[in-house]
Amino acid sequence: MTLESSETEFASRYAAWAAVGQVYPQREGSPLQEFSAGGRVLYLFDRSGPYTVRPGPAKLVVHGILDLAATDLRPQPADGREELTVIGISGLEGVGEVLDVSRRSWVVRARLPLVLSSFTPLPEVRPGDWVAFRTLPLLHGFAVENDSLR
């Protein structure tokens, strides 16, 4: 079971849900991008290839694999507040609103849009539902072209 047919196809499919933020210079030889968005600094495995994303403003599809044992449907918080906490080097846990649902992925807004996937069937949710989630490391980052950011 695969979640993508290519990096380009995946980035294109979820481009509308890309997070807008700031990419910082990468250490030479490191596969991790430092990306600041939604008030959080994320370390993303660079799926677009070395040197594709230059430091500065950028749009990236942030993709994580769900830890289904730590993921469940939640009622909308009374204050409507989304939560997002960085776990370890490159994992997340949070609470957010489901924006889009496909066969093996959800798009969830939890301070920033996230594409959250699973290799096994996901719990049934609809756009507008709220979920609590945790991802497994590593988060992946897919570059999305946007000339208005340059």
pLDDT tens-digit readout, 89-108:
999 999 999 999 998 999 99
CA distance 110 to 88: 18
Q: What residues form DSSP beta bridges with 62?
A: 141
Here the tokens at position 19 are 């997070």
Looking at residues 16-37, what average pLDDT do you find? 92
Residue 87: its pLDDT value, please?
Answer: 96
3-state secondary structure of 1: coil
pTM metric for this prediction: 0.93
CA distance 45 to 34: 9
Of 69, 68, 66, nearest in space to 91 by CA: 66
Residue 97: its pLDDT value, please?
Answer: 98
CA distance 133 to 131: 6
Q: What residues form DSSP beta bridges with 72?
A: 132
Residue 150: its pLDDT value, please?
Answer: 45
**CB neighbour burial string for 98-134, b if at least 16 within 10 angstroms, e if fewer:** bbebeebbbbbbbbbbbbbbbeeebeebeeebbbebb
Looking at residues 64-82, what average pLDDT do you find? 96
pLDDT tens digits, one per residue of 28-50: 778 899 999 999 999 999 998 77
CA distance 6 to 23: 22
CA 114 to chain centre: 3
Residue, of 9 and 52, whose pLDDT is higher: 9
Here the tokens at position 109 are 């807004």
Q: How confident is the model at residue 3 (pLDDT cuts 50, 70, 90)?
A: confident
pLDDT at 67 over 90: yes
Q: How confident is the model at residue 147 (pLDDT cuts 50, 70, 90)?
A: low
